[in-house]
């Protein structure tokens, strides 16, 4: 393949995808230098078999990397996917895959790592049951030297990853292990459809009861709910079958919409940061008490579904489909397309105790989705390969970037509908992501950058979802008060902290429900409730969270 000199690889707006990399098929001694080029590898200018940064193929003479990883159940073998086939053509690097389904991957991976029989690169280190597995692996096998320190390799040979880390300090902090080194690469995604809280109500209901303004405060919401209850909001002739506010438990609209309206904190049932950057537990604040009074008022007046704490998702959905529910939470993709045009979204609210609209930013990154191991014969070639996954759409190499792993090649699998690049459509025979995942790429969570603000064309539901994100969520993402989702904890902190946090959560859910339904009086029971949280270990857990936050703040500098 003829060498191709690329233009600047500087990137803006990067999405990182973590790859667990294990390099096999070569002597492990060449990778013994932590984070630096192994003996015989190229410099940034290019020597030996590796070409200079920005030139392709990556190596002059073909090499082979053994890649281990987790694939989804029923997914094709990675050797059959166009992404890896074309990457081989672009880079001159061949791949041998040893993949396991996510259910058996943790065991197979552990056997390989403990037995020393692992490859060059590990990708998609994920578990169906343990969301923190990749970080645990990173903190375990990085300091042991099994996963290479990538810090210097990134600095010298990975301009896309480096630019991403400079633009997004929070991503850099999430990549940094507790010893200050970088062992793994993340999967970072910012798309038009990544969504936080969602609450809907019928525009027709609003018209039927004479409400002409979408609520923006909790008082205005209350007034609309009263109108829903007292009138025939659904227009079926029965003014008594309406459920003004319907939900399943406390973890949907109540957690993401009602509680933040009072506390001004993005996570209604967990830890946040106050305006001075100190850790605060939302359910232990005075503003949370005001939320409880409001929710109790809704319940006692028949505005909140009396079955909110006991019904199943299926029972709730049946009520929504029967047009019995006023405010309800859910994804637009679960709505009936024929009624989509009549659905309005409830924006983030303010209240007497909080004048700031707050939305919790959805998860946008998975750490540890790629590692390079100490058995890798050419870490420089490996980091050059992984860096391609972090290229922006503008800096794609022969059409390959982080976006390619999501939707395939532009002009072959999909295309923008017009020059505004706000919508895209599939190109026959591709009809959707199921086709992409069968023949082109892996279903998410490969390492790299995914930054895609276009919406699927011809889908009213997805158009609604994108509008919600752009108009009612993204402008109100509260980052300053959000506890870092990717803060890291020591093994001891995790072991003790998880026990306390689970017990706190159980207690909060139980007591919040009792307060709302009136089983426990809010005023007389509040101090005992706070005392119960302290007895469980709230102060101790706050100290643990503070310690992890301090490490995060240091890493983000």
Name which of 159, 165, 160 is nearest 44 in CA terms: 159
Domain that holds residue 510: 491-555
Name which of 173, 182, 165, 193 is nearest 13 in CA terms: 165
Q: Where are the alpha helices (DSSP H) in 305-426?
A: 313-321, 379-387, 404-407
Q: What is the model's pLDDT at position 329?
A: 79
Do 271 and 312 lie in one domain? The reply is yes
Do 175 and 287 lie in one domain? The reply is no
Asked whether residue 18 carries a pLDDT value surpassing 50, the answer given is: no
Give all strands (DSSP E) within 443-496, no chain letters: 448-452, 455-456
Sheet holding 199-202, edge to edge: 243-246, 325-329, 199-202, 343-345
Do 16 and 155 lie in one domain? The reply is yes
What are the respective helix, strand and coil percentages of the chain, to the nearest 5? 40, 20, 40
Query: Residue 503 falls within a domain, yes or no?
Result: yes
Mean pLDDT value across residues 409-416 = 98
Mean pLDDT value across residues 478-506 = 95
pLDDT in tens, 51-72: 999 999 999 999 999 999 999 9
Number of domains in the chain: 3
Do 240 and 339 lie in one domain? The reply is yes
Q: Please, what is the Cα angle at 140 between 134 and 145, to 5 degrees?
A: 110
Token readout for 51 is: 């070409």
Q: Which is higher by pLDDT, 54 or 25?
A: 54
Phi and psi angles of residue 281, each rounded to the nearest 5 degrees, phi first: -100, 110
pLDDT in tens, 148-174: 999 999 999 999 999 999 999 999 999
Q: Which is higher by pLDDT, 153 or 32?
A: 153
Query: Residue 105 falls within a domain, yes or no?
Result: yes
Q: What is the model's pLDDT at position 24?
A: 38
**CB 353, CB 126: distance < 8 Å:** no
Do 46 and 64 lie in one domain? The reply is yes
Q: Please, what is the Cα angle at 345 between 265 and 230, to 5 degrees?
A: 100
**CB 272, CB 280: distance < 8 Å:** yes
Query: Residue 159 falls within a domain, yes or no?
Result: yes
Number of helices (H) and strands (E), helices first, in the chain? Answer: 19, 17
H or E segment to which residue 524 belongs: helix 522-536
Do 261 and 208 lie in one domain? The reply is yes
Token readout for 425 is: 């459509």
Q: What is the model's pLDDT at position 300?
A: 98
Q: What is the model's pLDDT at position 235?
A: 94
Asked whether residue 379 carries a pLDDT value surpassing 90, the answer given is: yes
Query: Residue 435 falls within a domain, yes or no?
Result: no
Do 218 and 337 lie in one domain? The reply is yes
CA 379, CA 160: separation in Å to the nearest integer?
A: 16
Among 387, 418, 446, residue at a domain's last position: 387
CATH of the domain at 249: 3.40.190.10
Query: Residue 174 falls within a domain, yes or no?
Result: yes
User: CA separation (Å) from 458 to 63, 216, 331, 417, 455?
Assistant: 44, 30, 18, 10, 9
CA 49, CA 51: separation in Å to the nearest integer?
A: 7
Q: What percent of the chain lies above the pLDDT cut of 90?
A: 73
Q: What is the model's pLDDT at position 340?
A: 58
Query: Residue 2 falls within a domain, yes or no?
Result: no
Mean pLDDT value across residues 308-323 = 88
Q: What is the model's pLDDT at position 328?
A: 87
Do 378 and 496 lie in one domain? The reply is no
Q: What is the model's pLDDT at position 345?
A: 84
Do 261 and 375 lie in one domain? The reply is no
Do 176 and 205 lie in one domain? The reply is no
Query: Residue 112 falls within a domain, yes or no?
Result: yes
**CB 369, CB 445: distance < 8 Å:** yes
Other CB atoms closer than 10 Å to residue 458's CB: what's the count? 11
Other CB atoms closer than 10 Å to residue 531's CB: what's the count? 11
Do 224 and 372 lie in one domain? The reply is no
Partner residues linked to 350 by β-bridges: 217
Asked whether residue 30 carries a pLDDT value surpassing 70, the answer given is: no
Among 288, 311, 345, residue at a domain's last position: 345
Q: What is the model's pLDDT at position 139?
A: 94
Do 16 and 153 lie in one domain? The reply is yes
Asked whether residue 314 carries a pLDDT value surpassing 50, the answer given is: yes
Q: What is the model's pLDDT at position 330?
A: 66
Mean pLDDT value across residues 176-187 = 96
**CB 257, CB 265: distance < 8 Å:** no
The burial of 201, by beta-carbon neighbours within 10 Å (0-12 exposed, 13-18 middle, 19 or more buried), is given as: buried
When the pLDDT of each residue in the chain is averaged and rounded to a whole number, the result is 88
Query: Residue 277 falls within a domain, yes or no?
Result: yes
User: Of the ranges 1-5, 86-90, 403-407, 442-446, which one carries the lowest mean pLDDT score?
Assistant: 1-5
Partner residues linked to 56 by β-bridges: 4
């Amino acid at each position: 393949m003829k060498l191709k000199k690329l233009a600047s690889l500087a990137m803006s707006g990067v999405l990182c995808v973590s790859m667990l990399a294990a390099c096999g098929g070569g002597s492990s001694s060449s990778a013994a230098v932590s984070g630096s080029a192994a003996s015989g590898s190229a410099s940034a200018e290019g020597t030996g078999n590796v070409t200079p940064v920005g030139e392709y193929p990556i190596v002059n003479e073909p090499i082979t990397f053994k890649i281990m990883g987790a694939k989804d159940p029923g997914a094709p073998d990675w050797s059959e996917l166009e992404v890896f086939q074309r990457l081989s053509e672009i880079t001159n690097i061949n791949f041998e895959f040893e993949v396991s389904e996510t259910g058996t991957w943790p065991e197979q991976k552990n056997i390989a790592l403990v037995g020393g029989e692992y490859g060059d690169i590990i990708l998609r280190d994920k578990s169906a049951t343990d969301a923190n597995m990749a970080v645990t692996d990173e903190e375990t096998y990085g300091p042991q030297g099994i996963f290479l320190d990538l810090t210097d390799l990134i600095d010298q040979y990975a301009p896309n990853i480096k630019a991403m880390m400079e633009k997004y300090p929070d991503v850099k902090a999430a990549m940094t292990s507790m010893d200050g080194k970088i062992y793994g690469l993340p999967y970072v995604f910012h798309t038009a459809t990544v969504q936080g809280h969602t609450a809907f109500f019928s525009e027709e209901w609003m018209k039927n009861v004479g409400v002409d303004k979408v609520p923006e405060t909790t008082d205005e919401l209350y007034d609309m709910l009263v109108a829903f209850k007292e009138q025939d909001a659904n227009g079926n002739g029965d003014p008594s079958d309406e459920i003004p506010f319907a939900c399943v438990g406390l973890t949907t609209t109540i957690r993401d919409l009602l509680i933040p309206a009072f506390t001004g904190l993005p996570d209604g049932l967990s830890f946040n940061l106050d305006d001075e950057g100190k850790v605060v537990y939302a359910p232990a604040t005075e503003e949370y008490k005001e939320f409880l009074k409001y929710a109790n008022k809704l319940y006692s007046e028949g505005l909140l579904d009396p079955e909110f704490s006991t019904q199943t998702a299926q029972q709730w959905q049946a009520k929504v489909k029967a047009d019995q529910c006023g405010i309800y939470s859910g994804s637009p993709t679960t709505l009936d397309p024929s009624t989509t045009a009549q659905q309005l979204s409830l924006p983030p609210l303010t209240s007497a105790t909080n004048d700031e609209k707050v939305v919790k930013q959805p998860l946008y990154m998975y750490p540890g989705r790629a590692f390079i191991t100490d058995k890798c014969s050419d870490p420089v070639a490996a980091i050059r390969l992984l860096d391609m996954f972090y290229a922006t759409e503008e800096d794609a190499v022969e059409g390959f970037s982080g976006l390619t792993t999501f939707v395939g090649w532009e002009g072959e699998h999909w295309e923008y509908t017009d020059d505004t690049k706000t919508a895209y459509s599939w190109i026959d025979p591709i009809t959707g992501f199921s086709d992409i995942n069968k023949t082109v790429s892996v279903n998410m969570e490969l390492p790299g950058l995914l930054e895609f603000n276009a919406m699927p064309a011809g889908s009213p539901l997805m158009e609604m979802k994108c509008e919600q994100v752009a108009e009612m969520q993204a402008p109100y993402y509260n980052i300053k008060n959000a506890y870092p989702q990717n803060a890291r904890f020591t093994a001891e902190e995790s072991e003790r902290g998880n026990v306390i946090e689970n017990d706190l959560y159980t207690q909060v859910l139980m007591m919040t429900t009792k307060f709302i339904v009136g089983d426990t009086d809010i005023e007389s029971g509040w101090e005992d409730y706070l005392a119960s949280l302290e007895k469980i270990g709230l102060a101790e857990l706050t100290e643990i969270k503070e310690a992890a936050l301090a490490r995060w703040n240091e890493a983000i500098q």
